[in-house]
Structure 1
Amino acid sequence: MPAPLTILIANRATRTFGYGFVAVLLGIYLKLLGGDDAIIVASLGISLASGAALNILVGYFGDRFGRRHAMAGFGALMAASGGLLAVAPRFTVALVALLLGATSPTGTEVSPFLSVEQSIVAEVAPEGKRTRAFAAYNLLGALGAAAGALASGIPTLLAGGVPTTADPLRPMFLLYAGLGTLAAFLSLALPASVEVAPRSNRIPLSVRSRGRVKRMSALFGLDSFGGGFVLQSFVAFWFYRMYPESGSVLPLIFFVAGVLSALSFIAAARLGERFGLLETMVFTHIPSSLLLIAVPIVPGFLPALGAYLARMALSQMDVPTRQAYLAGIVGREERTAANAATNTARNLAQSIGPFSSGALVSALSLSVPFFVGGGLKIVYDLAVFSTFRKIKPETL
């Protein structure tokens, strides 16, 4: 494995470990700081919207500013977010930390790290092994998130039960700040070879790539809008509110979900090489969306948990295949801009989801977002297959 890829994977696993426990604890922490259910759900979109704004800056300036320096800056934002959350005396102050765009309510990447890293992974991957490189990158990231989800149980263990105040959770956000600092140093440890040749002007997308990226961005945005209704922080909060008995086992639940997601990346790489990237993206994603819709329908905690875990075993198979597919339909020097464009569309659309979800929760019930989110994702699957089925990536 090339040295840059090793550092990238270590960096991603470091960050996703933090994302893993923050995603489980964030909604509960905001509730303990005095937030209302619907407002908490809506507020999860703040970090996503800020992350989308940062992605726009990456698309214009990322390669010119320097990939390593940009990533180090994002690590510093992650550290600042964790520090602010750790000392927040009330709900409104915690919202300021979310505005920095470096706190993930999804359990996965929301910051501009992804746009830069995806470009580097595509370049340092061995020839013909791009999908496997993305699978390894996402696999270790998912395992980091799973370990982080398990670590979210530390406050419960130390408190001798599910915390009833915010204070037992504060040290976890200090840990998150430390992980952001480590991510910044790992970014600076990357070799100079990951940088592209300096240019005074932004590299524009070719006419062909621009059309592809526009269509892909719109469709990825639709998928992420649906995902915004059911962020991992929301799902953890839903179990916490609907099944209070789940409070003590939430860390284990999301650890198992993370491991299942990680294992799915291995299968996704092989399926993508055998059946095609687009086919793997679509035909694993539709069943996962149906299982998502089933979560609030099935009766009782254990059946709901079973549907959710089955969904998580399938839902992330489209991630490495999607990343490899996009890298294969644009040129090398276009990848950072293409990744920034699609990730910005994803983040912007996903950020709208929690606000819409909060409105649905306020008007109807806490379970409605599962139906809307799952339905939108199925529409995306059908649309992306219809739009891109004739466009083949250059290499896998």
Structure 2
Amino acid sequence: MHLLFSFRESSKDVRLLWISVFLRMASFGLTNQVLTLFLKSLDVSETNIGLFMTLTLVGDTIISYLLTWHADKIGRRLVMIIGALMMFVSGAVFSVSSHFVVLLIAAILGVISPSGDETGPFKSVEEASIAHLTPHVHRPEVFAFYGLFATAGAAIGSLISGVTVDYCHLQLEWDLNQCYRAVFMVYTIIALLKFGVMLFLSVNCEVQFNSNDSINSASAPTTETSSLLDDSDIQEDLTQEVHNENTFGLLGLSGLSSTARFYLPKFLVIFMLDSMGYGFMPSAWVVYYFKMAFAISATGLGTLFFFTNAIDSASSLPSAYLAKTLGPTRAMVFTQAPSAVFFILISISSNYIVASTLLILHCATSTMDVVPRQVLLTSVMPSTDLTKVMGIVNVAKTFARCIGPVFTGKLAEHNHLYVGFLINGICILTADLLLGINFFHLDKDILRKQSVLI
């Protein structure tokens, strides 16, 4: 089975990066369950909670840009070590402080995730490192395991958070604010574990280390020619390329290759639209919606989101099969569209069983687009551009996600939080339509690239 073969063939560094994303997403799963409720316990209004989330995402965007754009110069390992230390400091601040501005600064610097998933620069660096360490023929499976460990971490974090809050509140008789702070203490412990793991990464992760090039050459050329397309493909729209080059030059991003400059704007429009929709109903607000609408206990919430994240985790593996069978673009569209419909239907569900079932169905399909997206980007973009391109994409997605939370806070304050589900679904369906129009034709070439025998 190729999935198991890819697992066995993965290097020590790839496996350390799997552990890294597991720990980081476990910490995000922890804080995602309590962030909104913690701020509410400090008498922060729903509107200001939305503002907090928006400002956090804006700050994360700036930090992500600075770190990912210079990660290859600073060193990928050093960036990931710094990230673990930032997480530790942030968790410590949330454990003791009640000041809105202090918490906001800590959330930005420590990448406390208001959406329950990646908002900082470290995912970009990890993905670029994995692509650098993995030949094309193994990438769908390796990225599938990366997604599996990420969502498994989020699931376990959600469950631990719910159990911790209820144990401290019901058994130890702490007030809820103290219970939420206990969760942030666990966050600091996980950050220390992540720091220790990052110390064992080798120089193979760095872009300057090219021992894997001979392996990659079995499935595709290296450096700029390692992208999927040749110059004849790019010349389909020379005028647009010149415009993109001028635009990137004005932004100071002219160091990218011609292939990256040609395709990146299209990716950005699609992924930013998708991310903007997600920003209107991030996971922290979904937790809040289920808490307020159905009066669920902390353990009940933790259990629900444990199952949704566990299903997310399980769906990562078949997504690799879909990416190799249908092609990454079709795999993304055919999984995201149903997921968006399930999410929209939650807004009209007044029964907890129905709403939670729809949420589970949404989660069963929502992350099945992650591996195909990673395959699409790493197949099209030259290897020398991967860190910067991944960083630009994730920064742009985070920036787009900044728009929604402040409006969602207003909706929550006026008891119209369900509207966030509608906006989310409509944005994702529109992004899927644009994705299909622009990139369906690449699937054939990507599948041919992956079919090279090992």
Superposition TM-score tier, normalisation by shorter sequence: over 0.9
Equivalent of 1:216 in 267, 271, 288: 267
The 1-side partners of 2:431 and 2:127 are apart by 22
Q: After the TM superposition, which residues 228-267 of structure 1 pair with which residues of structure 2 at under 5 Å, given as runs?
A: 228-267=279-318
Aligned to 1:270: 321
Please tell me whether residue 155 in structure 1 is matched to residue 165 in structure 2.
yes
Aligned to 2:201: 190
Aligned to 2:412: 361
The 1-side partners of 2:158 and 2:280 are apart by 20
Query: 1:247–1:172: structure 2 CA closer, same or farther, 3 Å change rule?
Result: closer
Give the counterpart letter for 1:327 in structure 2: T
Shifted more, 309-318 versus 73-82: the winner is 73-82
Q: After the TM superposition, which residues 1-396 of structure 1 pair with which residues of structure 2 at under 5 Å, given as runs?
A: 1-100=10-109, 102-153=111-162, 154-160=164-170, 165-197=176-208, 204-362=255-413, 365-392=416-443, 394=446, 395-396=449-450
| Deviation of the 1:30 alpha carbon | 0.9
The 2-side partners of 1:136 and 1:19 are apart by 18
Aligned to 2:228: none
Structure 2 residue matching 1:89: 3-state secondary structure: coil
The 1-side partners of 2:57 and 2:23 are apart by 20
Give the counterpart letter for 2:370 in structure 1: V
Contact 1:24 1:236 in 2 (8 A): yes
Contact 2:124 2:387 in 1 (8 A): yes
Contact 1:101 1:110 in 2 (8 A): no
Give the counterpart letter for 1:218 in structure 2: V
Give the counterpart letter for 1:119 in structure 2: A
Structure 2 residue matching 1:9: 3-state secondary structure: helix
Shifted more, 127-136 versus 159-168: the winner is 159-168
The 2-side partners of 1:370 and 1:206 are apart by 38
| Deviation of the 1:184 alpha carbon | 2.6
Q: Deviations over 1:319-360 (max 9, x none)?
A: 111011101001111100110110011010012221232233
Structure 1 residue matching 2:442: 3-state secondary structure: coil
User: What stretches of structure 1 of length at least 5 have no aligned partner?
Assistant: none
| Deviation of the 1:50 alpha carbon | 1.8
Percent identity, please.
28
The 2-side partners of 1:364 and 1:21 are apart by 26
Query: 1:98–1:243: structure 2 CA closer, same or farther, 3 Å change rule?
Result: same
TM-score by length of 2: 0.83
Give the counterpart letter for 2:124 in structure 1: S
| Deviation of the 1:35 alpha carbon | 1.1
Query: 1:188–1:301: structure 2 CA closer, same or farther, 3 Å change rule?
Result: same
The 2-side partners of 1:261 and 1:15 are apart by 16
Contact 1:203 1:334 in 2 (8 A): no
Structure 2 residue matching 1:104: 3-state secondary structure: coil
Query: 1:119–1:361: structure 2 CA closer, same or farther, 3 Å change rule?
Result: same
The 2-side partners of 1:267 and 1:135 are apart by 8
The 1-side partners of 2:72 and 2:142 are apart by 22
Higher Cα radius of gyration: 2
The 2-side partners of 1:98 and 1:222 are apart by 24
Give the counterpart letter for 2:256 in structure 1: L
| Deviation of the 1:267 alpha carbon | 1.2
Shifted more, 98-107 versus 365-374: the winner is 98-107
The 2-side partners of 1:139 and 1:179 are apart by 19
Contact 1:151 1:251 in 2 (8 A): yes
TM-align CA RMSD = 2.0
The 2-side partners of 1:164 and 1:253 are apart by 23
Count, aligned residues: 394
Contact 1:78 1:177 in 2 (8 A): yes
Contact 2:276 2:401 in 1 (8 A): yes
TM-score by length of 1: 0.94
Give the counterpart letter for 1:156 in structure 2: D
The 2-side partners of 1:305 and 1:358 are apart by 22
Structure 1 residue matching 2:441: 3-state secondary structure: coil
Contact 1:58 1:115 in 2 (8 A): no
The 2-side partners of 1:37 and 1:349 are apart by 21
Q: Deviations over 1:55-101 (max 9, x none)?
A: 21134211001000011111111111111111122445422322325
Contact 2:68 2:121 in 1 (8 A): no
Q: Deviations over 1:24-57 (max 9, x none)?
A: 1111111111111232133222322222112211
User: What stretches of structure 2 of length at least 5 have no aligned partner?
Assistant: 1-9, 210-251
The 2-side partners of 1:164 and 1:295 are apart by 32
Q: Deviations over 1:136-177 (max 9, x none)?
A: 011011101100000012121232189753111212112212
Contact 1:23 1:232 in 2 (8 A): yes
Give the counterpart letter for 2:258 in structure 1: V
The 2-side partners of 1:351 and 1:333 are apart by 29
| Deviation of the 1:284 alpha carbon | 0.6
| Deviation of the 1:178 alpha carbon | 2.2
